[in-house]
Copies of this chain bind each other. A is one copy, B any other.
């Protein structure tokens, strides 16, 4: 059918810039006005500039000699966009942006900076959500945007090798031309870069199915804070020769070096994508349905998202979207991606039948029959953020919890904030144990924020959850690292940081708390 043949394309189109990782944090009201965000140093007056050198004309000349004058940006207006993050909640005071083209240029720049003790910030697509990719003080921005060559794709092994500045969506298109797909998919795919994806260990919408970048990244090249090039750019699936040093770079958020190239293992592109939408009356039913989905859909399950009634109400009331099912406490989107449409459809039908016949599971459900329904059902999940903003001010959290605790946190906070907020809404990637927890008030309310933080982080800590499921720590959450990591583990991290970055020049003030 026409609809069916559209589905693979829709899989790519149905996720606008507001979706995925970006669905977790709304653009704050201050940015809607279009004015400049305040300087980050004004918001965080406690953070003091490190003992770094000041940039001199001689430094600038040295950089011009390395990358060429055209790629040294000094103009304040031009530099500004590199100082402000995507959410427009951070503004740094960087004065210089360097746009190297090669690993050798990055190496020469960093070597110079390390010798001169000049602090730097690596920057990819600048789509991070925790203030990790922009300067705080006068750190030099090293942009990977010009390092955007696809180096190779092997259709037999499925291995793609690319420079760090390649945009994720572009790589996915190249992979598609070989019957492959990138193993990760984010709302920011149109501007995020693979180097930044790796530096932040981006999760995204396909993690449930294709696993984390720690498994799908085969090789990596990076410039360490001393300027030395760490070449681990293998394309081999199996290589047990020594410690896997590249894993330190993955998820280090640019604090241990600048990733310059990567080799990624790409799965085969699905030929069929199916979507079921279910109504359920308890969170236990959501968990039971997930277990059933894992068993009956097994190898083709590609997403399992849940939405609570408060979130659904926001989408209906605030955006006027219609829900094809009646009132339920919870809704689930279960997506399959496979290589055979007939088989996938049969599996999905079988899954739905079991769910419907299982006591206390789903009580209502529908399957997308065409591309329009497919897109509409996904919009009920993807437009939640937007709908919540209509309430006024939004307080947003992105946590991982053991599955059994996920919705308890929502209920606990709902009780705690009773009468003080318009709504407490919970939804997210159930398959990943990743909850998006949101509260709304007509306008910013410091008292509400005080009731939320650090209480919500403490609650997550007490259940061994993660205070940052997929966004990283950056500047904004680094003081909460001990909520999710043991003291001693943080000490080991700090020792690794000192080992690789003795002068502390690489993306300072980020990830690790100030000691």
Q: Which residues of A contact B (CB under 8 A)?
A: 154-158, 179, 200-201, 203, 207-208, 211-212, 214-216, 224, 228-232, 234-245, 247-248, 250-252, 256, 267-268, 270-271, 287, 290-291, 294-300, 338-340, 343, 346-347, 400-404, 429, 431-434, 464-473, 477, 480-481, 483-486, 488-490, 492-493, 495-497, 499-500, 511-512
Contacts and interface: CB of A to CB of B under 8 A. Distances in A.
Contacts of A402: 154, 157, 235-236
A360 to B, nearest CB: 14
Nearest to A267: B298
Nearest to A340: B347
Contact of A469 (B215, B238, B247, B340): B238
Contact of A241 (B403, B484, B495, B496): B484
B466 A241 contact: yes
A90 B294 CA distance: 45
A268 B298 contact: yes
A299 B338 CA distance: 7
20 contacts: A156-B403, A179-B295, A212-B215, A215-B216, A234-B464, A234-B466, A235-B464, A236-B400, A236-B464, A236-B466, A238-B429, A238-B469, A238-B470, A241-B484, A241-B485, A242-B484, A242-B511, A243-B252, A295-B339, A340-B346
B239 A473 contact: no
- Name the 7 nearest CB pairs between A and B, nearest first: A215-B215, A247-B247, A298-B339, A239-B466, A238-B469, A343-B343, A241-B484
B256 A243 contact: yes
A244 B239 contact: no
Task: Give the one of A244, A290, A471, A473 with max B CB within 10 A.
Answer: A244
A362 to B, nearest CB: 16
Contacts of A296: 339
Contacts of A500: 492
A240 B471 contact: yes
Contacts of A485: 232, 241-242
A251 B243 contact: yes
A272 B245 CA distance: 38
A429 to B, nearest CB: 8
A401 B159 CA distance: 13
A154 B296 CA distance: 17
Contacts of A472: 240-241
Nearest to A478: B242
B242 A207 contact: no
B468 A245 contact: no
A480 B396 CA distance: 51
B232 A489 contact: yes
Nearest to A477: B241
Contact of A299 (B299, B469, B477): B299
A247 B214 contact: yes
Task: Give the one of A211, A240, A432 with max B CB within 10 A.
Answer: A240
A386 B294 CA distance: 39
A466 B347 contact: no
Given A214-B214, A243-B251, A488-B228, A237 B496 contact: no
A187 to B, nearest CB: 16
B241 A467 contact: yes
B432 A238 contact: yes
A200 B490 CA distance: 25
B291 A156 contact: yes
Contact of A270 (B298, B300, B431): B298
A242 B473 contact: yes
A353 to B, nearest CB: 14
Given A156-B287, A242-B512, A230 B488 contact: yes
A240 B490 contact: no
Contacts of A290: 156
B484 A239 contact: yes
A393 to B, nearest CB: 26
Given A299-B339, A343-B340, A492-B245, A400 B238 contact: yes
Given A241-B477, A243-B248, A268-B295, 17 more contacts: A154-B403, A155-B291, A211-B215, A211-B216, A215-B216, A229-B488, A230-B486, A235-B402, A236-B433, A238-B400, A239-B484, A243-B251, A243-B256, A243-B496, A243-B497, A299-B338, A299-B339
Contacts of A287: 156
